[in-house]
Structure 1
Amino acid sequence: MTLIADDPTSAQLVSTDPRDGSQVGSWPVADQAAVDRAVAAARDAAEWWHAQGFAGRKRHLQAWKTEITEGAHALADVISRETGKPSGDALLEVVLTLTHLDWASKEAHKVLRRTKVPSGLANINQSASVGYEPYGVVGVIGPWNYPFYTPMGSISYALSAGNAIVFKPSELTPATAKWIEDAWNRAVPGHPVFSVVVGDGATGAALVHAGVDKIAFTGSPGTARKVMAACAERLTPIVVEAGGKDAMIVAADADLDAAVGFAVFGGMGNAGQTCAGVERVFVEASVHDEFLSRLAKAAAKLHPGPGASDSYGPMTLARQSDIVARQLDEAIARGATAVVGGPDSVADGYVGPVVLRDVPADCAVSREETFGPVLVVDRVADLDEAVRRTNDTDYGLTASIFTKDLAKGRALAARLKVGAVTVNSVLGFAGIPSLPFGGRGDSGFGRIHGADGLREFSVVKSVAVQTRKPMLDLLTMDRSEKDMRMTEKVLHLLHGRRGKH
């Protein structure tokens, strides 16, 4: 990414391929005025979009899905060029994303339609119902590591709920966002229900200040706090996904080969640039050495590079290599052992696979998000220690558990302070659209995906309709003594000791 500007009104953002520096594309940087125009257009379009109803929105979203499906390889190529990830990984990202778009568009009416709820004996004269309405315009600020899958987790569900979207992608991946916008305009021409504003952090700040009705943000906890502070000025609600320090627990009875395979995938896929992957591994003592030996052999086979056949690509954000290097240097200096790789693995924009053991628990590589292909493997005396250490972090996004005893796996999952848990897999929830996704602590709050994701982008509205006169006329300034005496009897009947039986 490069910003080119002779003056503020002509700034251009240039997207480049991190593998070779070649230009992917360039777009004008949206300043506050441009963002305001986009939000105003979206607000007008939102009225039309809301009026389409669930059936109409489903039809348009399915048409958009078809446009993306037919161009899936072209989109995957753009994703690959902007992020440096292998084309196969980029295509997988497209496939997983469309699963969510399909589900959200089809299920929105079931989740959000107005539904009658019980009124209770005391209010039998009232017909009560709950329904959900769109906020209006939702601003989405997306990341660069999964530039299609992650922001579409908000976009798909917010659109299905009836909102218009103004999307500010990462400054590293604007071409992906513009490709999606072009697909929208082909599927739903003339209606800017979904639009993109390109730029850096200043453009994101402009979107927050443009009067949108909700913000969906994905990024670091530090940036999330700044965005939240800006949202607080207008009391703009926000949903935040802010990364993780995800742990894997390997029980003594686990299938070690399966655990190793998923540890490598979760920790080193996409060059480790995955919020919900694996960064820490806690292994019961009796199988620790065997697990570590197998993991070392599997990780050592990986080879980063620019080619389609390479295991993974470069660090998309160049300065992330410096963070990885600093964490490795500190850990080694304090007595950790690099079983695979080490500080020399960071070179020329790439980070080779790294497996560490004997890392002091207070090292940055054990406490802070690394966002690189680095796994820290720790021996634990038992599963209670594994749970305690998994929870001993400010993050709380996801975790994984490996055991052949599924009942034990579910019991352990219940004890982990995270938003999602997989048993005997990693990222198993990512392709299940009915499962909500989100974290706690420094990993953020709110949910995307699933019914909770649809409701996240909706305003709940309760309606009570009085269908006949009440038995007791209490909502008046002229309550009768008779009605009050009867009210007291009802009070004891419903809520007193006799009522409890």
Structure 2
Amino acid sequence: MSTATEQRTFDSLNPASGVVVGTHPLHDAEAVGAAVESAGEAARWWAGLGFERRKRRLLDYKAVLTQNLTRIATLVHEETGKPIGDATLETVLAITHLDWAARNARKVLGPRRVSTGMIGLNLAATLEYLPLGVVGVIGPWNYPVFTPMGSIAYALAAGNAVVFKPSELTPGVGALLAELFTQSVPERKVFQVVTGLGETGAALAGHPGVRKVAFTGSTATAKRVMAACAANLTPLVAECGGKDALIVDADADLGAAADAAIWGAMSNSGQTCVGVERVYVVERVYDDFLRELTERATAVRSGEDYGPITMPAQTDVIRRHVDDALAKGGKAVVGGAESVRPPYVDPVVLTDVPEDSSAVREETFGPTITVRKVATLEEALEKSNAVSYGLGGTIFSGNTRRAMELARAMLTGMTAINSVISFAGVPSLPFGGVGESGFGRIHGADGLREFARPKAISRQRFAIPGMNLTSFSRTPADMERLVKLVTFLHGRRKS
């Protein structure tokens, strides 16, 4: 864990070796306030550029990120411990989202005429989405490029300035993203970074000059951020934790389902909010699936296929969940309590774990997975929906219609069918959850609108004689004509 020093700085550490990766300022409330104030001025300039000029600059930023892909991925690897390949993948995904946001902002947010209906026949109506001003982004450490850029890119494309507070575990990545932005937009401080611990994030969320906060992190921290936002009625989009389930149908491709389950559970050391933590398998194929799963899990190596646990305290949570599962009658078919060996955790596959155990109900955020046999898909769906989280989910089935029905019935913001976490890589799809997984959306058209305010404008084109309804000069005859019109339009019941 990074710690503050007497010089009002703090260090980011490589979680695998403990070596200092970088030293960064510990920005206090005064520094945060100065950043927000300068961002307010930059926001007015940036909004004034209009969609086309912002698009050109954001596409140039995309090119700069691409040219520095190796540099970014290397720093992500150093600050999180994840393999270079995984760091590269998340940066590539962030680049594709930036591209989509830049190219689609005008189409989604620009002025458009809307129907006025018969009552408003003499009106012209337009709808557009205007920038908010300054958006505060508080990012996580597990995907320090992809996740915050899902807010930053869309907020910038919508015409806002951004002040970004990266996790104290990955401040260097955040600072680098902002540094590279200045190569495309040197004129104003449109995208700034403030670094520090929780107090820095609280100062950002509670500043009256911030018009919206985008937060990614734990549910408990989201509640504290929300409390800070409440002082100024600052709206919040919150992407919190998950306890995502994968359902395996009797006619599923078991090899593909097992491969997806292992990747969803073990990649990035299991430190993925939309990672697979629970699997429910129809009993007819349970034994075959479990054999496929254990073979693959046994072949996965911590320190090679995935890195260390980035946040040291998380190993205690993982150990507690494994111990609780085993104490309540669960079986470890791969790994076990001995798999937790900080800073690494080896793959753990647990079966027969009671549904009331912490390993099933709480977010583990480690390379562990629980597998349970169910009699029917209905039972699998019931158990999938029985937790307080509702972020993502996965269905493996050979029946497209049945899979779609299950996907719709999952109490989650996103579901992947015959793939894992694929929705995150589709820029046009919104990303977010329900319940304790948060609210609001990033990505896609919904993500662009999240960082803009709708502006409705109606304009009278001509007056309608005898229908002057919003005036003290209206007559009973005017109201009689209105009632006749409404009765004609809406008074007939449909059988």
TM-score, normalised to structure 1, is 0.97
Structure 1 equivalent of residue 233 of structure 2: 235
- Matching residue within 84, 108, 117 for 2:105: 108
Deviation at 1:333, TM superposition (A): 1.1
Is the 8 Å Cα contact of residues 218 and 242 (structure 1) preserved in structure 2? yes
Which residue identity does 1:284 align to in structure 2? V
| 1:416 paired residue among 410, 435, 442 | 410
Amino acid at match of 1:40: E
- For 2:204 and 2:370, locate their aligned partners in 1 and report how far apart those are by CA, in whole Å: 38
The alpha-carbon deviation at position 408 of structure 1 amounts to 1.1
1:210 maps onto 2:207 in alignment: yes
Distance in 2 between residues matched to 1:94 and 1:182, nearest whole Å: 16
2:426 to 419, 432, 442: 432
1:482, CA displacement in angstroms?
A: 2.4
Provide the rounded CA distance (Å) in 2 between the counterparts of 1:137 and 1:464: 28
Residue 242 of structure 1 contacts residue 444 of structure 1 at CA under 8 Å; is this kept in 2? yes
Equivalent residue for 1:476, pick from 455, 471, 479: 471
- Once superposed, what is the RMSD of the aligned Cα atoms? 1.0
Residue of structure 1 equivalent to 2:491: 496
Selected match of 1:225 from 217, 223, 226? 223
State the alpha-carbon separation in 2 of the partners of residues 425 and 268 from structure 1. Answer: 15
Q: Which residue of 2 aligns with 1:143?
A: 140
> Structure 1, residues 357-410: CA drift from partner, whole Å, max 9, x if none?
010110000000000000100000010000100000100000000011111111
Deviations 1:275-311 (A, max 9, x none): 0010000000011111111111100111111xxxx11
> Per-residue displacement from partner, 1:119-171 (whole Å, max 9, x unpaired)?
11111111011110011000000000000000000001110000100000000
Residue type matched to 2:339 in 1?
S
Counterpart of 2:68, as a letter, is G
User: Deviation string for 1:78-114 (max 9, x for gaps)?
Assistant: 0000000000110001111100000000000000011
1:355 to 315, 337, 349: 349
Once residues 486 and 353 of structure 2 are traced to their aligned partners in structure 1, the CA distance between those partners, rounded to angstroms, is 63
Where structure 2 has 5 or more consecutive residues not aligned to the other structure, the ranges are none
DSSP 3-state at the match of 1:162: coil
Cα distance per residue 1:242-297 (max 9 Å; x no partner): 01000000001000000011001000000000000100000000111111111111
Counterpart code for 1:250: V
The residue type equivalent to 1:378 in the other structure is R
SS of equivalent residue, structure 1 residue 369: coil
Partner of 1:251: 249
Written as runs of structure 1 = structure 2, the 5 A alignment for 1:287-298 is 287-298=285-296
Offset, 1:495 = 2.1
| In 1, Cα distance between equivalents of 2:24 and 2:369 | 38
Q: Does 1:332 align with 2:326?
A: yes
Amino acid at match of 1:282: Y
Give 1:208 deviation, angstroms.
Answer: 1.0
Using the TM superposition, give the Cα deviation of residue 11 of structure 1 relative to its aligned residue in structure 2, in angstroms.
1.0
Distance 1:229 1:277 in 2: 28
1:419 partner SS: coil
Distance 1:470 1:457 in 2: 38
**Aligned-partner Cα distance in 1 for 2:476–2:422:** 63
Q: How many residues align?
A: 493
On the 8 A contact 2:315/2:342 being kept in 1, the answer is no
8 Å Cα contact 2:442/2:450 also seen in 1: yes
State the distance in 2 between where 1:191 and 1:327 align.
48
Distance 2:342 2:237 in 1: 36
Is residue 3–residue 11 contact of structure 1 (8 Å, CA) maintained in 2?
A: no
Aligned to 1:260: 258
Secondary structure of the structure 2 residue equivalent to 1:89: helix
Q: Secondary structure at the match of 2:119?
A: helix
- Aligned-residue offset at 1:187: 1.6
Residues 4 and 26, structure 2, Cα contact 8 Å, conserved in 1: no
Contact kept? 1:142, 1:151, Cα under 8 Å: yes
- C-alpha distance in 2, partners of 1:155/1:243? 20
Residue 335 of structure 2 is matched in structure 1 by 341
> By how many angstroms is 1:227 displaced?
0.9
**Of the candidates 5, 8, 25, which is equivalent to residue 28 of structure 1?**
25
Distance 1:269 1:19 in 2: 16
- Corresponding letter in the other structure for 1:481: P
CA shift, 1:458, in A, is: 0.7
Q: 1:393 aligns with which of 364, 387, 398?
A: 387
Q: Equivalents in 1 of 2:408, 2:206: separation in Å?
A: 39
Whether the 8 Å CA contact 1:220–1:242 is kept in 2: the answer is yes
SS in structure 2 of the partner of residue 167 of structure 1: strand
Amino acid paired to 2:340: V
Q: 3-state SS of the aligned residue for 2:3?
A: strand
Match of 2:3 in 1: 3
Matched, 1:125 2:122: yes
CA–CA separation in structure 1 for the residues paired with 2:132 and 2:473: 40
* Cα displacement (A) at 1:447: 0.4
Residue identity opposite 1:414 in structure 2: R
Deviates more, 1:88-97 or 1:463-472: 463-472
- Structure 1 residue ranges, 4+ long, deviating more than 2 angstroms after superposition: 1-6
Match of 1:449 among 443, 455, 462: 443
Q: Normalised by the size of structure 2, how large is the TM-score?
A: 0.98
1:132–1:461: 8 Å Cα contact kept in structure 2? yes
Q: Distance in 2 between matches of 1:229 and 1:4?
A: 25
Equivalents in 2 of 1:185, 1:491: separation in Å?
57
Question: What secondary structure sits across from 1:139 in the alignment?
Answer: strand
Identical counterparts, % of pairs = 50
Partners of 1:203 and 1:461 lie apart in 2 by 33
- Supply the distance in 1 between the matched residues of 2:279 and 2:483 (Cα, whole angstroms): 61
Equivalent position amino acid for 1:174 in 2: P
> Paired residue for 1:301, among 299, 302, 315?
299
2:366 to 367, 372, 378: 372
- Give the distance between the partners of 2:329 and 2:67, measured in 1 at CA: 53
Counting only pairs closer than 5 Å after superposition, residues 55-94 of structure 1 correspond to structure 2 as 55-94=52-91
Q: Which amino acid aligns with 1:438?
A: G
The answer to whether the aligner puts 1:487 opposite 2:485 as a matched pair is no
Q: Is the 8 A contact 1:356 1:377 kept in 2?
A: yes
d(CA) in 1 for partners of 2:371, 2:3 = 40
Does 1:16 pair with 2:18?
A: no
What SS does the corresponding residue of 2:237 show, helix, strand or coil? strand
SS at match of 1:187: coil
Q: Which amino acid aligns with 1:176?
A: V
Q: In the alignment, is the contact (CA less than 8 A) between 1:35 and 1:207 conserved in 2?
A: yes
**Matches of 1:483 and 1:289 in 2, distance apart?**
76
Pick the aligned partner of 1:278 from 273, 276, 287. 276
Identify which of 137, 153, 157 aligns with 1:156. 153
